[in-house]
Amino acid sequence: MQAARLECVQCGASFSAQEELYECEECGDGIRVIVDMQGLSYEYLRPRWRERPFRLWRYRELLPVTGEEVSLDEGGTPLVQVRFLRDFAEDVRFFAKNEGLNPTGSFKDRGMTVGVTRAKNLGRTRVICASTGNTSASLAAYASRAGMECIVLVPSGGIAKGKLAQALFNGARVIALDGTFDDAMGNILEVAEALDAYVLNSINPYRLEGQKTAAFEVWEQLGHDVPDWLICPVGNGGNMAAYWKGFEELFRLGAVGRLPRLVGVQADGASPIADAILREEDEIVPVDDPKTVASAIRIGNPANWRKTMRAIRESDGLALKVPDAEILRAQSLLAREEGLFVEPASAASIAGALRLAKEGLFRPGERVVCVCTGHGLKDPDAVLESFPDIPPVEPTVEAIVAAAQGEP
């Protein structure tokens, strides 16, 4: 379908959907797509959605692009029970939305399938993004699929090896900046203009349109209901805002009669949004040198802070920040207790759930969804460091059995 129009999230200025806009021309703030829901009702959509596979494009009526999509069959990721968290909150059910099972191993694919389809609609042949890693891995793959040229800007030394390998192998031109993600992001619009490239960072509102489908899936997976709480790691803040947009659209369609409360989780060393919410301030104070082991949320000046802050507040939700030690512990618990291996940033939502469960926030009967944003194989270095080297063992039955039984 077509977008009805574009709208500024701050001043409400309205723009034509034909425009290629990343910032409001009036006030400079973020842009969102307003989907035309005229003539769309739940009764109309329900049978159509049901006859399609449980994948992202099942919800095509609410995705504002036209023509054949650039797709790797993304979405439809599992919602898995996280049982160990129940020990900390009686009669509460916890789930992980396992977004690491998307084609390139993170939720970014939801945004890229729609964003690159939009680039194709516009006749663009070159795409660009700034990235801590997963955005570049995803864009590189979808650009290949679309036959487009791809340029990615990453912080030199700050990108996990798995993600870098994906971007390189998918044929992107990788530019490593002597600076942070925020430095890359600060230059992206001017660089894109000079190179005549289409920007696919999350300031591109079409990305968030793709990402909102995760909310539709959660609603279906919970038996056509929303969770009581949705907990999400927050970097630039696009994903949290996208979930909120998805839930709101379901509400407007009459598919559900209530909305979840949102919890945004940031790492201690990179927490401008959580800080502003905790201090009840209206604006964030950017963090100059963000630090956390969770590289995907190592962001000091988040592009979508206003959208995310508004979503959290409108939902009567909350924000919290967790130290790296809690993130790594949650990552390890999730892998050991449940068999789910996610990257550190993903585990921030589990760390948040654990903290809030211990504080007694959740009530009996509630359902809590933790968004696990990316696959553990993306960033094995962060994990392997915590294990001692494995000494080689003689390839004999005796030596192997002895080693397995923990003898020297």
Ligand X SMILES: *Cc1c(COP(=O)(O)O)cnc(C)c1O
Contacts with ligand X by CB under 6 A lie at: 106, 108, 134, 202, 233-239, 296-297, 343, 345-346, 373-374
Q: Which stretch binds Zn ion (CB under 5 A): 3-11, 104-112, 211-219, 369-377?
A: 3-11
DSSP assignment letter at 363: P
CA angle 55–56–62, rounded 5-degree value = 135
Of the pair 33, 348, the CB lying nearest Zn ion is at 33
How many other C-beta atoms are found inside a 10 Å radius of the C-beta of residue 256?
A: 17
Q: Which does 266 bind (CB under 5 to 8 A by kind): ligand X, Zn ion, none?
A: none
The binding track of 102-131 with respect to Zn ion, each residue x by CB under 5 A or -, is: ------------------------------
How far, in Å, CA of 127 to CA of 212, rounded? 22
Residue 102 is which amino acid? N
Closest contact distance (angstroms) between CB of 373 and ligand X is 3
Closest contact distance (angstroms) between CB of 82 and Zn ion is 40
Q: Could you tell me how far CA 149 lies from the centroid of its own chain?
A: 24
Q: Which does 11 bind (CB under 5 to 8 A by kind): Zn ion, ligand X, none?
A: Zn ion
Of the pair 210, 374, the CB lying nearest ligand X is at 374
Q: Could you tell me how far CA 164 lies from the centroid of its own chain?
A: 18
Number of H helices, E strands in the chain: 14, 13
With contact defined as beta carbons under 8 Å apart, do 297 and 327 qualify?
Answer: no
For residue 57, give every residue at least 6 positions away whose Cβ sits within 8 Å of its Cβ, in sequence order, or none: 63, 69, 71, 75, 113
> What is the spatial order of strands in the sheet that 31-35 belongs to?
14-16, 3-8, 31-35
Of the pair 134, 271, the CB lying nearest ligand X is at 134
11 binds Zn ion, rule: CB under 5 A: yes
Closest contact distance (angstroms) between CB of 266 and ligand X is 9
**Nearest in space to 229 (alpha carbons), one of 264, 263, 258:** 263
Q: Which does 296 bind (CB under 5 to 8 A by kind): ligand X, Zn ion, none?
A: ligand X
Q: Which does 235 bind (CB under 5 to 8 A by kind): Zn ion, ligand X, none?
A: ligand X
Q: Which does 106 bind (CB under 5 to 8 A by kind): Zn ion, ligand X, none?
A: ligand X
Of the pair 71, 346, the CB lying nearest ligand X is at 346
316 binds Zn ion, rule: CB under 5 A: no
Q: Which does 82 bind (CB under 5 to 8 A by kind): ligand X, Zn ion, none?
A: none
DSSP assignment letter at 235: S
Closest contact distance (angstroms) between CB of 382 and ligand X is 12
Backbone angles phi, psi at 201, to 5 degrees: -80, 175
Of the pair 27, 399, the CB lying nearest Zn ion is at 27
How far, in Å, CA of 61 to CA of 81, rounded? 30
Among positions 24, 128, 140, 153, the unique one binding Zn ion when judged by CB under 5 A: 24
With contact defined as beta carbons under 8 Å apart, do 89 and 362 qualify?
Answer: yes
Q: Which does 26 bind (CB under 5 to 8 A by kind): Zn ion, ligand X, none?
A: Zn ion
With contact defined as beta carbons under 8 Å apart, do 272 and 286 qualify?
Answer: yes
Among positions 1, 4, 13, 174, the unique one binding Zn ion when judged by CB under 5 A: 13
Of the pair 241, 250, the CB lying nearest Zn ion is at 241
Residue 177 is which amino acid? L
Sign of the dihedral through C-alpha 34, 39, 44, 50: negative
Q: Which does 155 bind (CB under 5 to 8 A by kind): Zn ion, ligand X, none?
A: none
How far, in Å, CA of 236 to CA of 228, rounded? 24
Q: Which does 264 bind (CB under 5 to 8 A by kind): Zn ion, ligand X, none?
A: none
How far, in Å, CA of 236 to CA of 287, rounded? 12
Of the pair 205, 374, the CB lying nearest ligand X is at 374
Among positions 27, 122, 165, 400, the unique one binding Zn ion when judged by CB under 5 A: 27
Of the pair 8, 172, the CB lying nearest Zn ion is at 8
26 binds Zn ion, rule: CB under 5 A: yes
Closest contact distance (angstroms) between CB of 396 and ligand X is 42
Q: Which does 237 bind (CB under 5 to 8 A by kind): ligand X, Zn ion, none?
A: ligand X
Residue positions counted in the chain: 408
How far, in Å, CA of 45 to CA of 48, rounded? 5
Name the site residues for Zn ion (rule: CB under 5 A).
8, 10-11, 13, 24, 26-27, 29
